[in-house]
């Protein structure tokens, strides 16, 4: 029996393996140059039909210990079908048991979205006559940051930016983008057609490529939390935000969607810009319009369970949503999906999943169209 994590988005450290009892004591490694930790992804080999016991010893020391309550680990034999297994959290340890049917099996915090799949996504999308792929800049480690420009430029077209995975250990965000792009590029979809008639979209499917490959939860390779870099992005330490914000300054922006996953809250929800200086009736009305439209078209989306609202003027302006809302006076949302499940529409076998994230990503086009012509 052996455990490995030396692959794309792998993260685990072996503390000990008791080969007589098939008992594995494990630890999650810290993000690169950072104290954050929570994402895990590892492979167990040579354990067919062996009843194995796992304990993640430092689960209580992670960024969001409450994220482990009512959470079930994701498991896959083929790296496509990720199902959940019963998991418990007590005394700061995450514990689960599993008897593999095959010789090799993967465990992860959530269905991973690999760098190879990311490259497939952007290259397949660029084959559409609606799409141009551009490299916005380079990451801290020198990788290309891909942006898809979707739709044709035109006078009076609304500019929509969609960015995802600032936090690399939130792969549901890129599954969401995959569903979003698939629907947007479907020439038979009337909602997509109408959006592309009147808007041009700039989509960055993965803001934090280095951190994704490294198996980080929140940090980039420089150790930066990219979603705290929007006020004063550093060309050296947070080039991912620096180049994207620079491009936003060039294109202007009427709507931002910034896609994330939330460790603790078992629902889909958005965070808005109520705490920015200059928050006005336009933003308030449009936020409500967008939220109501999404709720009426997807039972997976709700507005009851979410983050506490910021007091007037109390927004953290280093975060993308308030910074962009304030900088451009535009409508701006942080979209959050669960790591656990959507408690409104639970699925015992899969929990919240890659497929469900994709479907939610497609569904957001309805509220986008609903508010499109009123965007300022």
Pairing of strands 199-204, 255-262: unpaired
**Would you state the structure tokens that stand for residue 184, as one six-digit string?**
């947007």
Considering beta carbons, is residue 26 or 163 the nearer one to Zn ion? 163
User: Least distance from C-beta 236 to Zn ion, angstroms?
Assistant: 23
Q: Identify the helix (H) or strand (E) that includes residue 335.
A: strand 331-338
Query: In the bound complex, what is the minimum distance in angstroms from residue 89's beta carbon to Zn ion?
Result: 21
**Cα dihedral across residues 307, 203, 231, 166: positive or negative:** positive
How far is Cα 332 from Cα 284, in angstroms, rounded to an integer? Answer: 11
In contact, 210 and 166? CB cutoff 8 Å: no
d(C-alpha 306, C-alpha 291), whole Å? 12
> How far, rounded to the nearest angstrom, does the alpha carbon of residue 217 sit from its chain's CA centroid?
10
Nearer to Zn ion, 163 or 195 (CB): 163
CA dihedral defined by 146, 152, 154, 157, rounded to 10 degrees? Answer: -70
Contact 161, 147 (CB under 8 A): no
In the complex, the smallest distance separating the C-beta of residue 307 from Zn ion, rounded to whole angstroms, is 11
Q: Interaction with Zn ion in 24-43: which residues (CB under 5 A)?
A: none
Among 84, 158, 260, 340, binds Zn ion (CB under 5 A): 260
Residue number with CB closer to Zn ion (167 or 247): 167
Least distance CB 329 / Zn ion (angstroms): 24
Of 1-9, 116-124, 257-265, 340-348, the window that binds Zn ion (rule: CB under 5 A) is: 257-265
Instruction: Closer to Zn ion by CB, 118 or 370: give it.
Output: 118
CB-based contacts of 373: which residues, under 8 Å, 6+ apart?
198
Give catalytic residues, as residue numbers: 336
The stretch among 80-88, 96-104, 132-140, 161-169 that binds Zn ion (CB under 5 A) is 161-169
Give min distance, CB of 166 to Zn ion, in A.
6
Report CA 346 to chain centroid distance, whole Å. Answer: 20
CB of 180 to Zn ion, least distance (A): 17
Residue 247 found at the interface with Zn ion (CB under 5 A): no
Query: For residue 43, what are the CA distances in angstroms to 77, 223, 328, 337?
Result: 10, 25, 45, 25
Asked whether position 167 contacts Zn ion by CB under 5 A, the answer is: yes
Span from 166-174, 206-214, 229-237, 351-359 in contact with Zn ion (CB under 5 A): 166-174
Q: How many residues bind Zn ion (CB under 5 A)?
A: 3
The residue among 39 and 82 lying less far from Zn ion, judged by its C-beta, is 39
| Binding string, residues 72-101; x marks residues near Zn ion by CB under 5 A | ------------------------------
Give the nearer residue to Zn ion in terms of CB position, either 30 or 260.
260
Contact segment (CB under 5 A) with Zn ion among 115-123, 229-237, 255-263, 348-356 equals 255-263
CA distance 277 to 311: 10
Q: How far apart are CA 144 and CA 210, in angstroms?
A: 10
User: What are the backbone angles phi and psi of residue 116, rounded to the nearest 5°?
Assistant: -60, -45
Minimum distance of Zn ion from residue 357's CB (angstroms): 13
Strands 144-150 and 269-271: unpaired
- Of the ranges 6-14, 64-72, 169-177, 295-303, which one interacts with Zn ion (CB under 5 A)? 169-177
DSSP class of 14: E
CB nearer Zn ion, residue 170 or residue 178: 170
Query: For binding to Zn ion (CB under 5 A), which residues are involved?
Result: 167, 170, 260
């Amino acid at each position: 029996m052996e455990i490995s994590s030396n692959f794309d988005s792998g993260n685990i450290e072996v503390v000990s393996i008791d080969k007589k009892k098939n008992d594995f004591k494990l630890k999650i490694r810290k993000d690169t140059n950072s104290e954050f930790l929570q994402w895990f992804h590892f492979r167990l080999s040579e354990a067919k039909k062996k009843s194995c016991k796992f304990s993640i010893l430092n689960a209580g020391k992670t960024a969001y210990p409450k994220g482990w309550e009512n959470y079930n680990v994701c498991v896959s034999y083929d790296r496509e079908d990720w199902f959940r297994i019963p998991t418990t959290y007590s005394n700061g340890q995450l514990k689960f048991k599993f008897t593999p049917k095959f010789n090799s099996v993967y465990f992860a915090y959530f269905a991973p979205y690999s760098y190879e799949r990311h490259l497939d996504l952007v290259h397949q999308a660029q084959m559409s006559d609606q799409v141009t792929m551009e490299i916005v800049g380079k990451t801290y480690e020198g990788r290309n940051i891909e942006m898809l420009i979707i739709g044709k430029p035109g006078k009076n077209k609304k500019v929509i930016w969609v960015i995802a995975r600032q936090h690399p250990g939130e792969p549901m965000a890129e599954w969401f983008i995959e569903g979003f792009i698939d629907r947007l590029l479907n020439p038979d979809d009337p909602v997509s057609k109408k959006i592309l008639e009147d808007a041009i979209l700039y989509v960055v499917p993965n803001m934090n490529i280095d951190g994704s490959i490294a198996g980080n939860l929140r940090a980039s390779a420089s150790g930066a939390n990219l979603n705290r870099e929007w006020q004063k992005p550093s060309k050296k330490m947070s080039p991912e935000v620096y180049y994207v914000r620079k491009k936003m300054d060039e294109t202007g922006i009427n709507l931002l969607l910034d896609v994330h996953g939330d460790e603790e809250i078992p629902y889909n929800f958005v965070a808005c810009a109520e705490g920015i200086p200059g928050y006005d009736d336009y933003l308030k009305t449009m936020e409500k319009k967008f939220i109501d439209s999404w709720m009426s078209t997807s039972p997976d989306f709700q507005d009851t369970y979410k983050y506490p609202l910021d007091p007037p003027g109390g927004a953290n302006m280093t975060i993308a949503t308030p910074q962009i809302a304030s900088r451009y006076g535009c409508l701006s949302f942080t979209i959050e999906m669960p790591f656990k499940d959507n408690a409104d529409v639970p699925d015992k076998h899969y929990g919240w999943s890659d497929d469900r994230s994709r479907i939610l990503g497609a569904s957001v086009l309805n509220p986008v169209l609903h508010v499109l012509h009123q965007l300022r």
